[in-house]
């Protein structure tokens, strides 16, 4: 293959042309958005336009969008016991997170006590019974549950979880980094209090994200970053105008193509998974019984290690990922699969394929050809230069 095939959209999506153009235009704009002169007002207009575009993607009021440096910072901003909300004077006493969350949520943010993990089913879906039981503990809780898992693509029962959380007097934060721009992600329909969105997952630049509030009444008594009072006092620091302009442009385009693109990508994934089963009937597709993102497949073939598979695919011109992010060039064990009860030996072979707006049927067929060749070499003992 001369052209590489990119199947790692859940890690980062290629920059959209519209985002690229918006960023170039913003780079030519002089002025600090906090300045009152004409140049500053022009820069402020770019930021506020982006705020409106990101708000529209999740059905929110633009005034409720807090721009950050990315999804990780947005999650860290959300995870604090000092959230002030109408009708509640006491701080949030506990943090409950699902066992399949991103590490930025599992770390607990600014909660200094222990983080309670909510169990998930064997298909990677939050156990609502376990959530309800934990909500019965002392003190009100902040609960953080992702909308869609980054490894399996499994969608979570957010609205049902929100009903339980609110009935117990708690606050619900939803990490929608993987869901926004791929499936409908309306903050009101989700019944979430806080939603995290990331620019580079939807075709915007890296280094930009947002925490979106469902209501103006929600307030952070202790901002994560203190300084000049930007973002209505919730996040200090001069805004990254060019990145935010690209973020907004990507959000606008993602919102307009949501339904048609989701159906197209889902059809490609069906062909992909059928081909995986044809090439190796013993292949296991994780979370297949759950409702999933239309673009995500996490699978393993018993006896094939993820490191070996990813190296072979890369040599064949295909970018894929393991079930978890690589650290220092090595594949880390997946906490998601562990929480789902997947045996360690099988989890060690998990490969994630994630599709996007540029993925074609030809690329899916190209992957399947390369995958069959790789399996043939591995199972006849000819590693073809690969590490065992």
Chain-centroid distance of CA 198 in Å reads 7
Mapped onto helix, strand or coil, the DSSP state of residue 141 is strand
CA dihedral for 306, 312, 313, 315, sign (positive or negative)? positive
Residues contacting 203, CB < 8 A, separation 6+: 13, 14, 15, 16, 19, 181, 250, 253, 254, 357
Bridge-partner residues for 122, per DSSP? none
- Nearest Cα to Cα of residue 198 among 161, 164, 165, 247: 247
Cβ atoms of 144 and 162 closer than 8 Å: no
> Per residue, what are the HEC states of 297-330?
EEEECCCCCHHHHHHHHHHCCEECEECCCEECCE
How far the first Cα of the chain sits from its last, in Å, is 24
Across 140-286, where does the E strand assignment appear?
A: 141-144, 171-175, 194-198, 209-213, 219-220, 284-285
Respond yes or no: is residue 185 known to be catalytic: no
- Give me the phi and psi of 320, to 5 degrees please: -130, -175
Instruction: Quote the tokens at residue 58.
Output: 């999740």
Q: How many CB atoms lie within 10 A of CB 263?
A: 10
CA distance 75 to 60: 18
Token pair 């820069």 is found at 43
Q: Choose the catalytic residue: 326, 332, 346, 369.
A: 326
Please state, in angstroms and rounded to a whole number, the distance separating the CA atoms of residues 369 and 361.
Answer: 12
Which residues lie closer than 8 Å to 373 by C-beta, 6 or more apart? 316
Residues annotated as part of the active site = 326
């Amino acid at each position: 293959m001369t052209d590489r095939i990119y199947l790692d959209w859940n890690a980062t999506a290629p920059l959209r042309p519209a985002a690229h153009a918006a960023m170039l235009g913003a780079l030519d704009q002089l002025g600090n958005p906090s300045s009152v002169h004409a140049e500053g007002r022009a820069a402020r207009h770019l930021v506020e336009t982006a705020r409106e575009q990101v708000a529209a993607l999740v059905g929110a009021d633009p005034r409720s969008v807090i721009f950050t440096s990315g999804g990780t910072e947005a999650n860290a901003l959300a995870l604090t016991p000092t959230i002030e909300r109408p009708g509640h004077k006491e701080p949030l006493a506990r943090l409950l997170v699902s066992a399949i969350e991103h590490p930025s949520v599992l770390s607990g943010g600014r909660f200094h006590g222990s983080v309670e993990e909510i169990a998930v089913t064997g298909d990677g879906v939050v156990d609502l019974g376990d959530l309800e039981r934990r909500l019965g503990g002392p003190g009100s809780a902040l609960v953080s549950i992702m909308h869609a898992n980054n490894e399996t693509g499994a969608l979570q029962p957010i609205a049902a979880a929100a009903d339980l959380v609110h009935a117990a007097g708690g606050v619900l934060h939803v990490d929608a980094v993987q869901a926004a721009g791929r499936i409908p992600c309306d903050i009101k329909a989700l019944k979430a209090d806080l939603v995290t969105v990331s620019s580079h997952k939807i075709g915007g630049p890296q280094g930009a994200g947002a925490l979106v509030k469902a209501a103006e009444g929600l307030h952070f008594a202790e901002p994560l970053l203190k300084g000049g009072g930007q973002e209505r006092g919730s996040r200090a620091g001069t805004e990254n105008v060019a990145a935010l302009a690209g973020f907004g442009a990507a959000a606008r385009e993602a919102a307009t193509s949501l339904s048609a693109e989701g159906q197209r990508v889902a059809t490609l994934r069906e062909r992909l998974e059928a081909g995986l089963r044809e090439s190796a009937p013993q292949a296991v597709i994780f979370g297949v019984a759950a409702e999933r993102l239309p673009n995500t497949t996490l699978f393993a073939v018993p006896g094939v290690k993820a490191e070996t598979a990813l190296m072979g695919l890369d040599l064949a011109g295909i970018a894929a990922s393991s079930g978890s992010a690589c650290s220092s060039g090595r594949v880390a064990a997946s906490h998601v699969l562990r929480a789902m009860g997947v045996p360690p030996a099988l989890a060690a072979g998990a490969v994630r394929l994630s599709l996007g707006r540029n993925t074609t049927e030809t690329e899916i067929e190209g992957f399947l050809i390369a995958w069959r060749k790789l399996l043939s070499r591995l199972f006849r003992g000819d590693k073809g230069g690969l590490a065992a």
